[in-house]
Amino acid sequence: MAEHHNAIISAGAKLFREHGFDGVGVIEVAKEAGLTHGAFYGHFRSKADLAAESCRRAFEEQHGVWPAGMTLSKFVSMYLSGEHRDRPAEGCPVPCFAESIGRQEAIVRREYAKGFENYVRQISAQFEMAGQTKVRARKDALLLISALVGGISAARSIVWSDRQMSNGILAETKKSVMQQFGLR
């Protein structure tokens, strides 16, 4: 039972990142988890309950714990990469969910807010370790996240019609962010 529950959450985390909360139904999530549509309701009362758990899982997978040895420079490079752009189902939930989170039920919005705040804390901690005050570190973390999310979102929006422009967006955003924050 626990294995099926976990499989449904994992499938939801993947599919909601790839297609958005409104672009995936319970049937698709159950199928991705290897279960029937009817089995879903033995685990969740509603799609919103699944979306909330899947949102939490997506943040845990991507931003649960800052990896040892991960510098801000490495993080920026990984975030603004073609691999991250081309694999949203396995990437950061912020750009995947940002556009539609306001239309979701409160339970989903709360999980998103918790995940986002944890993400901000992790980035802030990296700036603090570099000697910034708590207040400045938080401001820079918010600015950095905004730049990264904007860059990856813009690159994803154009990749299917103009891959060269998409690659340019990633490269220029990375260059600008590295310069702005003194990263190498």
* Integer Cα distance of 22 and 32 in angstroms: 16
Six-digit token pair at 36? 């029937």
For 118-129, how does the pLDDT look when each residue is reduced to its tens digit (9 = 90+)?
999 999 999 999
* Integer Cα distance of 157 and 12 in angstroms: 22
Q: What are the helix (H) ranges across the chain?
A: 2-19, 26-32, 37-40, 47-63, 72-79, 82-86, 93-97, 106-129, 134-158, 163-180
Residue type, 170: L
Please name each of the domains of the chain with its CATH number.
Answer: 2-180 (1.10.357.10)
- pTM of structure: 0.91
For 4-47, how does the pLDDT look when each residue is reduced to its tens digit (9 = 90+)?
889 999 999 999 999 999 999 988 998 999 887 777 777 888 89
